[in-house]
Amino acid sequence: MKTLQKITLIIVSIGLFTSCQSKTDVNQILSNSDTKKAIMDTIANNSDMSKDMMQAMMNSSKGKMMMTNHENMMKMMKDNPDMMKGMMTEMMEASKTDTTMMSEMYKSMMDNPKMMDMMKDKKMQSHKMTGMDKNMDMSK
């Protein structure tokens, strides 16, 4: 009887030890799209975590390549305003049918003071042009 108790105790001890030593499988966690989105949202909405993520990206070869491509794209858009306008128009058209994309764009604009200033300037220009059109119609 004592031998059976000892064997049972050893088996239970080994079972507890191995269950406590389980390693988290990151790929398994990230395979769930809801979990992955929650993780990314958490990182994006936390400035310390965002800085850590940027540092990790800059330390990886693919992250450096992506950042370089982003910088090149920004330079191309700056050098070619027509391309930028075309891309913006395409994004706006796509967002009309994609409410998630529209809400993300709206959130991004609201969080970016430069973008808000640009939108206000465009609105002011639009009002000025509308006023000019009305004045031109009156002169006819």
Q: What is the pLDDT of residue 22?
A: 57
In the numeric block, which tokens belong to residue 64? 């450096």
Q: Is the pTM of this model over 0.75?
A: no
Read off the DSSP letter of residue 45: T
Statement: residue 20 has pLDDT above 70? no
Confidence of residue 7 (pLDDT cuts 50, 70, 90): confident
> In the chain, what are the domain boundaries?
30-59, 84-128
In the numeric block, which tokens belong to residue 58? 């800059």
Q: What is the pLDDT of residues 26-54, one digit of tens each?
A: 888 889 889 988 998 898 888 888 888 88
- When pLDDT is averaged across residues 53-65 and rounded to a whole number, the result is 82
Alpha-carbon span 95 to 102, nearest angstrom: 5
Instruction: Spell out the SS3 assignment of 8-43.
Output: HHHHHHHHHHHHHCCCCCHHHHHHCHHHHHHHHHHH
> How many whole angstroms from its chain centre is CA 60?
18
Q: What is the pLDDT of residue 127?
A: 63
- When pLDDT is averaged across residues 63-73 and rounded to a whole number, the result is 78
Is 58 in contact with 64 (CB distance < 8 Å)? Answer: yes
Q: What is the pLDDT of residues 71-124, one digit of tens each?
A: 888 888 788 888 888 887 887 787 778 788 778 877 877 888 887 787 777 776
Contacts of 104 (CB under 8 A, 6+ apart): none
- When pLDDT is averaged across residues 6-30 and rounded to a whole number, the result is 74
SS3 46: coil
